[in-house]
A and B are shown apart, each in its own frame.
Chain A
């Protein structure tokens, strides 16, 4: 039982670190020259993004 509690604690610590870094990352402003393509493209659709840039 103690083992699972420790496992949960380790997981919680790592999850908190991730959430903290995600929050901090979202707070940092993007550079002015940045083109936000993330809203249109995700995961394995990167080739779609590249094609789209070519079309433009």
Chain B
């Protein structure tokens, strides 16, 4: 039971208190660019959740192979190629079987290749025990994760899902705020990206306030 609650805690921490955009600033380019309307933001969020999860799944096993072959220095290059390949695969599937989704994602789907959120997650999940130890979980859980490859793998996937959903929620919430900001009387120098960044900073303050709760 404790392991399930720990998994849920990892998911919530990755999604809310360690939110990738609001705590690190990774992925801020697509966040500012795509959040101008709600439907685009939802499309980008869904695509990113999917690619992050799939990249984590593939990268986890790829990392094991790289370690076994003693070529860990190839990690970043290999992960970039994996992400780029997955994006091509997703685009192909969307084109063939989900034309409506392909139309709504459009230009945002290839952009995920250059989204550093995905690369950040794939690199983070390579060392799950140290990642989890930074989240304030009990030593028993950390030892359990370190002792079993199955738990290690499940935690890696849950963390990847949490980060993906965190991105999705923040970009969605921000797109709804931004639609209102567009109609608000903003000082000339702050219009556009300026007020967007100020709003993001206020959102980040609100999110970090929950750090001790979860």
Residues of B contacting A38 with CB < 8 Å?
106-107, 110
Verify if B78 is at the interface (C-beta below 8 Å from A): yes
Complex contacts, A33 vs chain B, CB 8 Å: 99, 103
Let me know if B70 and A3 touch, CB within 8 A.
yes
Q: Is the interface of A mostly helix, strand, loop or mixed?
A: helix
Chain B residue contacts of A37, Cβ below 8 A: 106-107
Binds A, one of B7-15, B28-36, B159-167: B28-36
Beta-carbon nearest neighbor of B102 in chain A: A31
Within 8 A of A (CB), among B143-195: 193
Interface of B is mostly: helix
A54 to B56: give the CA distance in the assembly, Å: 36
Among B99-135, those with CB < 8 Å from A are 99, 102-103, 106-108, 110-111, 114
Q: How many A-B residue pairs have CB under 8 A?
A: 91
- Residues in A with CB closer than 8 Å to B64 are none
Of the candidate stretches B16-24, B81-89, B201-209, the one touching chain A is B81-89
| Complex CA–CA separation, A31 to B91 (angstroms) | 12
Pairwise interchain contact B82-A34, C-beta atoms closer than 8 A: no
The answer to whether A21 touches B88, judged by C-beta atoms less than 8 angstroms apart, is yes
- Chain A residues positioned under 8 Å from B37 (CB to CB): 50
Closest to A18 in B: B85
Hey, which chain A residues are within 8 Å of B110, CB to CB? 38
Tell me if A3 and B85 are in contact (CB < 8 A).
Answer: no
Most buried by A among B37, B73, B107: B107
Q: Is the pair A11, B74 in contact by a Cβ cutoff of 8 Å?
A: yes
B69 touches A46 (CB 8 A): no
What are 12 pairs between A and B in contact, CB < 8 Å? A3-B69, A10-B69, A10-B74, A14-B78, A14-B85, A21-B85, A21-B92, A25-B92, A34-B102, A34-B103, A34-B106, A50-B40
Interface residues of A (CB under 8 A from B): 3, 6-7, 10-11, 14-15, 17-18, 21-22, 24-25, 28-31, 33-35, 37-38, 41, 43-47, 49-51
